[in-house]
Amino acid sequence: MVKPLKSLIFALATGCAVLISGPALAQSGDNADDKSVAQSVESLKKQVIRLNRDLFILEEDLLFPASTQFAVFVSVDTGQFLKLDAVKLKVDGEVVASYLYTERQVQALERGGMQRLYVGNLKTGNHEVTAFVEGIGPDNRAYKQAATLDFEKGTGTAALEIRVQDRSSDYQPTVSIVAWD
């Protein structure tokens, strides 16, 4: 009585195993094809990256020529005393950008990344830039701080950095705007 059961179940099990392993065996046979497809996809990716680069540069040349380009970046140093939540940017009294951060974006900033918050055009001459930074500060309290910078825009590209830093002297965050050469 046992023997037929055993043989049948094994026959079924073996059949099943053979059927299941079919595609796996076929996979090893198609390895060269897989590799060649992977290579062609890789080549396409390379071309698309290059095209994206060229289009990115073209877009900047068209919309934000070097003579008037003005960009503002955001950086966070360690972020121990401030969990960044949002940033608002005013240029000459007008709000030009406001941004709410996800957890992942905050982590990317805390790991040394810099976000390009805003890019636009600005005439040569004197301008005023104000940044409002919001988040959760020490003791888990809502924190809001602003920083202002008066700067002179020359004939080349201008770049500013909104820098959120930890100040260990009083365990408070600080916000400043720094001009890049």
The answer to the question of residue 180 lying near another protein (CB under 8 A) is yes
Task: State the nearest-atom distance from the C-beta of 152 to another protein, in Å.
Answer: 19
Query: For residues 121 and 56, what is the distance between their CA atoms, to the nearest angstrom?
Result: 16
| Identity of the residue, 110 or 130, whose beta carbon is nearer to another protein in the bound complex | 110
Residue 74 contacts residue 87 (beta carbons within 8 Å): yes
Residue 39 per-residue DSSP state: H
Name which position in 70, 73, 81, 143 contacts another protein (CB under 8 A): 73
Task: State the nearest-atom distance from the C-beta of 167 to another protein, in Å.
Answer: 15
The answer to the question of residue 105 lying near another protein (CB under 8 A) is yes
Sheet holding 172-180, edge to edge: 115-121, 69-76, 158-167, 172-180
Q: Which of 101, 174, 176, 79 is nearest to 131 (CA)?
A: 176
Binding mask of the shown chain, residues 1 to 20, with x at each position contacting another protein by CB under 8 A: xx-xxx-xxx-xx-xxx-xx
Burial of 32 (0-12, 13-18, 19+ CB in 10 A): exposed
Q: Which residues bind another protein (CB under 8 A)?
A: 1-2, 4-6, 8-10, 12-13, 15-17, 19-20, 22-24, 26-27, 30-31, 34-35, 37-42, 44-59, 61-62, 71, 73, 75, 77-78, 102, 104-105, 107-116, 159, 161, 180
